[in-house]
Amino acid sequence: AWAFHAPRAGWRCWVADESKLLVHDGSAWTENGTSAGGREVLIANRTYYVRTDGSDSNDGLTDSSGGAFLTLQKAWNTILTLDLNGFTVTVEVGNGTYTAGVNMATAPVGGNVIWDGDTTTPGNVIVSVTGNNGFTLNAPCTVTVRGFELRTTTSGNCLVASKGLLQFDALIFGACAGFHIRLDTHAHAKASSASWTINGNAQRHFSVALNAALEISNSTVTVSGTPAFSSAFAYAFTGAAATWFSTTVTGAATGKRYDVSQNAIVNTFGVGASYFPGDVAGTTATGGQYA
């Protein structure tokens, strides 16, 4: 047996077969990673469930009306009570329409989070918000959003990040009062070997500003139904960068193709000025570059 002299709060110890994690709370060791008065420490990946017939009084651990959460925000708030301990939490969101998004303003401890709708048929899981954003990341962590149809009315954007890394795949961007994708203040969004569909109007499909970065590579973007972009499909300003590498964009839209200014860069790796959909030529100004 092992003996510890004067263990301190926060010390951790695995038992020999790694079936349990012991955590010391300053007065005693407790099993399974739950420190008295502290965070539960994960010893494996975890899944929470959200359903339209769930309840925020549930624990979120079972895919049933009596087990799942009702709202996305409750799932995030629960994740914040954990020590992820290097593991990943996946939130499985069931079919239906959700009229409230999620504001991820605080980073979880020690791991990444995946929001998982229906990656085969994203239209089965709709986040349709009035007067607010769909998914907002404002914390230094990595979050993946996949398998949703996203819409906003009155005001609000579909995906927003001002900190952290936001990864996305298998989305449908529907009608949006603001921007489909909005990145500010050093945020980073990434889609690699991904695919998504755009079938709704918006002010901009993507907007990057204040040194934010959007990185798209080896992906497929399908524009359906000739949506209109009242500002521009692609918009970058104030030192931001958007790179679209080896990515296929098909379909038609109305509005300006791109608007790049204030030392920002949009790099399509030489595909040409007609790469982004639209019926108005793109523009650059005050140090903005399109390549």
Q: Are 153 and 133 a contacting pair, CB within 8 Å?
A: no
| Alpha carbon separation from 154 to 29, 66, 131, 199 (Å, rounded) | 52, 34, 5, 18
Label the pairing between strands 21-24 and 29-30.
antiparallel
Q: Are 141 and 167 a contacting pair, CB within 8 Å?
A: no
117 pLDDT higher than 50: yes
Burial class (CB in 10 A: 0-12, 13-18, 19+), 239: middle
19 pLDDT higher than 70: no
Instruction: Tell me what pLDDT residue 26 has.
Output: 56
34-71 in b/e burial notation, b at 16+ Cβ within 10 A? ebeebbbbbeeebebbbbbebeeebebeeeeeebbbbb
Q: What is the mean pLDDT of the chain?
A: 92
Q: Which pair of structure tokens corresponds to residue 255? A: 């509005």
> Which residue carries 């230094």 as its tokens?
140
> Which residue carries 């958007």 as its tokens?
242
Q: Are 168 and 215 a contacting pair, CB within 8 Å?
A: no
* Digit-coded pLDDT (tens) for 236-275: 999 999 999 999 999 999 999 999 999 999 999 999 999 9
182 pLDDT higher than 60: yes
Q: Tell which residue, 223, 216, 226, has the closest CA to residue 266.
A: 216
31 pLDDT higher than 70: no
